[in-house]
Amino acid sequence: MFSCRLPVFLTLLMVGCHGVNSDELDFTRVSPNRADVVGTWVFASANFQNSGISQASHVHLHLLEDTTFSAVNLPTPRIAKGEMKMAFSSGIGKWAIRKEDSSFPTWVVDLLFEDHHMESFHLRHQQSPYLIHLNMGDPDTGRALLLHRTG
């Protein structure tokens, strides 16, 4: 597993990234089976301290087979005046999986809420069971919240 990640890590360093978040090396690079993404997702863990984290522990994301979703307390950090503030989105809408082309292609789930705002997150792991990786602010800081599928 490590030998597969080393070339990606070195490539990222060569293209001038200011910092490499090692979590990004685990982002899903193989097209996920939609059936492995459909289901209920809940808080798994976070690697930072924030006063809003207790509310984040009550997140519920339901991705349905018909590409609709419902979300409750989905963490959506906002940067205001140079400072990250924790916000939470709840609502319904449509979801889709897409390939994100960057230094190395990864798979992302987009949520388009009925109020027309969109949130995106990366999938982690190369096969099921996946994790949902929600960046909390600048991705290079490594601050993230993880969700796991419960059913």
Identify whether 15 is part of a domain. no
**CB burial class (10 A; 0-12, 13-18, 19+) of residue 91?**
middle
Residue 11 lies in a domain: no
What local confidence, expressed as pLDDT, does residue 16 receive? 43
Q: For position 21, what pLDDT does the model report?
A: 57
Do 18 and 11 contact (CB within 8 A), yes or no? no
Instruction: Evaluate if residue 45 carries a pLDDT over 70.
Output: yes
Assess whether pLDDT exceeds 50 at residue 14: no
For residue 98, give the CATH number of its domain: 2.40.128
Least confident of 57-66, 83-92, 120-129, 132-141: 132-141
Peptide bond into 129 cis (omega under 30): yes
pLDDT class of 13 with cuts at 50, 70, 90: very low
Tell me if 16 is assigned to some domain.
Answer: no
Contact 57, 75 (CB under 8 A): no
The two tokens of residue 118 are 């969109």
pLDDT classification of 63: cutoffs 50, 70, 90: very high
- Whether the pTM exceeds 0.85: the reply is no
Percent of the chain with pLDDT over 70: 75
Domain assignment of residue 125, yes or no = yes
Whether the per-residue pLDDT at 18 is higher than 60: the answer is: no
DSSP state of 27: B
Would residue 41 count as lying in a domain?
yes
Whether residue 3 lies inside any domain: the answer is no
Q: What is the pLDDT of residue 54?
A: 57
Residue 84 to residues 22, 31, 79, 128, Cα–Cα distance (Å): 21, 32, 4, 32
**β partners of residue 107:** 99
Residue-range definition of the domain harbouring residue 122: 21-149
Distances, alpha carbon 55 to alpha carbons 27, 59, 67, 127, in Å: 25, 7, 26, 29
- Distance from chain centroid for Cα 86: 15
State which H helix or E strand residue 145 sits in: strand 144-149
How many domains in the chain? 1
pLDDT of residue 56: 56
Identify whether 9 is part of a domain: no
Residue 124 lies in a domain: yes
